[in-house]
A and B are shown apart, each in its own frame.
Chain A
C-alpha cells in the first residue's frame, strides 16, 4: 500500500512542477514540450501503478497504449493541418 502513496507524492510533485512552469518565463515551444512530456509521464504513472497496467499482459498494454495515445495523436495530426490552413487563409483574406 505504501507504493500507492509514493505514487501519489510523485504525481503531486509533477503537478506542482507543471504549475511552476506555467508561471515561469520560457519560450512557448519549450513550454509546450515540457507540458506534453509531463502530462504523458503522469498518465503513464497512473496507468502503470494505479491501474496495474504493468502487471497486465502485453496484449492489454498494447491495446490501451496504441488504442488511446496513437489514435489520439493520429486524429490530431490528420486534422491539425486543415485547421492551420484555414487559420492562415482567414489571416490572409480576412473573415467572411
Chain B
C-alpha cells in the first residue's frame, strides 16, 4: 500500500508542480476569495478531517477486535466521503453556472479553470474510489469477512486522500 501511496502521491506532486508553473506564468490569476466561498471550502475540509478521525478510530477498534465499533466508524467515514463529494458536486455546478470552463473563466487567467477542474476532479475521483472501498469494507465487516489488514489498508488510502486535500486546500484555495 505504501508503494501505491508514494506513486499516486507523485502524480499529485506533478499536478501541483504544474499548477505552480502555471501560477507563476499567469498575469491575472483570480483572487480566490472572489471566486470561492472560503467558509464553504473550510466546511469541506472539516468533513474530510473528521472522516479521517473516524477512519483512524475504525482501524483502532479493529485492532482491538471490536468489529461492531469498527463497522460503525467505517460507515461514518463513508458518510463523510459522500457528504464531501456532494459538497464538491455543488461547488462544481455553482462555478460552471458562473461560467467556469476548462479553457476560460470570467475571473482571470484562462488556465485557472483547467487547474481547478484537474486538481479537484482528480482528488474527487480518489474520494469516490475511497467511498467504494469503504462501502465494500463495511459490507465485508458486517459479514465478518474483513480482516484487520483489510481495514488498515482502507484506512491508509483514506488518510492519503485527506493528506492530498491538505495540499490542494492550501496551495489552490488559500495561496
Q: Is the beta-carbon distance between B171 and A39 smaller than 8 angstroms? A: yes
Asked if B25 and A35 make an inter-chain contact with CB atoms under 8 angstroms apart, the answer reads no
Question: Chain B, interface size: which category?
Answer: 35 or more
Contact partner, A50, options B2, B56, B175, Cβ 8 Å: B56
Q: Judging by beta carbons under 8 Å apart, are A50 and B52 in contact?
A: yes
The tally of residues in A whose CB lies under 8 Å from a CB in B reads 43
Contact of B6 among A1, A31, A38, A64 (CB under 8 A): A64
Q: Interface-forming stretch among B10-18, B90-98, B131-139? A: B10-18
B24 touches A83 (CB 8 A): yes
The residue from A12, A68, A79 contacting B9, defined by CB atoms under 8 A apart = A68
Residue in A closest to B166 when the chains form the complex, CB atoms: A42
Seen from chain B, the residues whose Cβ lies within 8 Å of a Cβ on chain A are: 2, 5-6, 9-10, 13-14, 16-17, 20-22, 24-25, 27, 33, 38, 42, 45-46, 49-50, 52-53, 55-57, 60-61, 155-156, 159-160, 162-163, 166-167, 170-171, 174-175
Interchain Cβ contacts under 8 Å between A and B, 27 examples: A4-B60, A8-B49, A11-B52, A35-B174, A36-B170, A43-B163, A47-B159, A50-B52, A50-B53, A50-B155, A51-B156, A56-B2, A60-B2, A63-B6, A64-B5, A64-B9, A67-B6, A72-B10, A75-B13, A76-B17, A76-B20, A79-B17, A80-B24, A83-B20, A83-B21, A83-B22, A87-B24
Interface residues in chain A, defined as those with a beta carbon under 8 Å from any beta carbon in chain B:
1, 4-5, 7-8, 11-12, 15, 18-19, 22, 31-32, 35-36, 38-39, 42-43, 46-47, 49-51, 56, 60, 63-64, 67-68, 71-72, 75-76, 79-80, 82-84, 86-87, 90-91
